[in-house]
Amino acid sequence: MEPKETTANIQKPEKLVITSSPHIHDTESVTKIMWIVNLTLLPAAIFSVINFGIPALVTMLLCIAGSIACEAAIQYWRKKEITVSDGSAVLTGLLLAMCLPPGIAWFVPLIGAFAAIAIAKHTMGGLGYNVFNPAHIGRAFIMASYPVAMTTWAVSRIGNNGDFAGAISKIGTLDAVTAATPLGILKQQGYDALVSSFGGQMEMYQALLIGNRGGSLGETSSILLILGGLVLIAKKYIKWQVPVAMIGTVGILTWAFGGKAGLFTGDPILHMLSGGLIIGAFFMATDMVTTPMTTKGQIIFGIGCGLITVLIRLYGGYPEGVCYSILLMNAVTPLIDRYIFPVKFGALPEPVKRS
């Protein structure tokens, strides 16, 4: 018997159509959200090109191109619909590039993009199924693979004098000068050496906020990243509680335990503004796929990220811990979702049992 005949025998559907939630639709879609997140990262990306020159741009383009090519190749091979234009691969590539040191060798971003897309995303089933943040898996993968290249940082071209015009004029040049990042100096030489390298405490805060300092491509300009994050909060793509919980936890804990002289002598502003904390808190810890579903769960997620970040920064071997903290909390996400669930609509609180 041909299979077609059996399907023809099935009764016609009744008029009552039953579908599962969600029932309310609006104009938001994955594609739109992804491209808007990409746009909010753009100012910080442009700033990094000014700050580090053409090598930064090359790294970014390599990451994005690698991610797109990898995603398209896997979807073609698995005979699935090729969804490169939805912007998620571009976002992964861009976020990965933002976590890399500028001017890294050309093949490292490509390997990172492969790890992010092929290992972290598509082995789990593609967009929406990944357990871990793909961009951070890519970074962790190449951090373990090429530790030297991943810790060689180009010098900020804008520098301590705030020389924007000078940086723009030599944007196309290559330079071989390297320097440690603020957190690297803090780890190896201590707080006083860090302050004196900027020429004063206020100058240091200013540099951390504006971004004329060394570091990964996208993490230098805190103010532009915060602006991008505020746009996402205003559009209700992310909840303000998450970055506040994460950055706040880091601030409180580093203030309490960061100082050498005793409790509450640390410098919370330095820790809150340096490293990948801002980009991690606004763009990675708020990822829709890899974080808990409820607001309460997301706040726990943010606090956990902050806690692990501080542990690694103050007591661990690496100067920076945002990447690993978010990955570790990704692993705990299903557990959080299991124990923190929303109250059912209209449900009453459990009556108190009297003995």
Residues that bind another protein (CB under 8 A): 1, 3, 105, 107, 111, 119, 123, 141-142, 144-147
**Nearest to another protein of 113, 195 (CB atom):** 113
Supply the minimum distance, in Å, between the C-beta of residue 104 and another protein. 12
C-alpha–C-alpha distance, residues 251 and 87, integer Å: 33
Helix (H) or strand (E) holding 315, with range, is helix 295-315
**Nearest to another protein of 119, 171 (CB atom):** 119
**Nearest to another protein of 146, 318 (CB atom):** 146
**Nearest to another protein of 123, 169 (CB atom):** 123
In sequence order, the 6+-apart residues with CB closer than 8 A to the CB of 284 are 95, 133, 135, 136, 322, 326
Supply the minimum distance, in Å, between the C-beta of residue 207 and another protein. 33
**Nearest to another protein of 52, 141 (CB atom):** 141
Supply the minimum distance, in Å, between the C-beta of residue 79 and another protein. 10
Burial per residue of 128-146, b for 16 or more beta-carbon CB atoms within 10 angstroms, e otherwise: eebbbbbbbbbbbbbbeeb
Quick one: tokens of 75?
A: 């979807």
In sequence order, the 6+-apart residues with CB closer than 8 A to the CB of 72 are 82, 84
The single-letter code of the amino acid at 92 is T
Supply the minimum distance, in Å, between the C-beta of residue 151 and another protein. 13
Task: Name the 3-class secondary structure at 178.
Answer: strand
C-alpha–C-alpha distance, residues 199 and 205, integer Å: 11
**Nearest to another protein of 108, 154 (CB atom):** 108
C-alpha–C-alpha distance, residues 212 and 307, integer Å: 27
Supply the minimum distance, in Å, between the C-beta of residue 145 and another protein. 3
Supply the minimum distance, in Å, between the C-beta of residue 149 and another protein. 8
User: In this structure, what are the phi and psi dihedrals at residue 113, rounded to the nearest 5 degrees?
Assistant: -65, -40
Query: For residue 281, what are the CA distances in angstroms to 14, 128, 158, 273, 284?
Result: 49, 20, 25, 11, 6
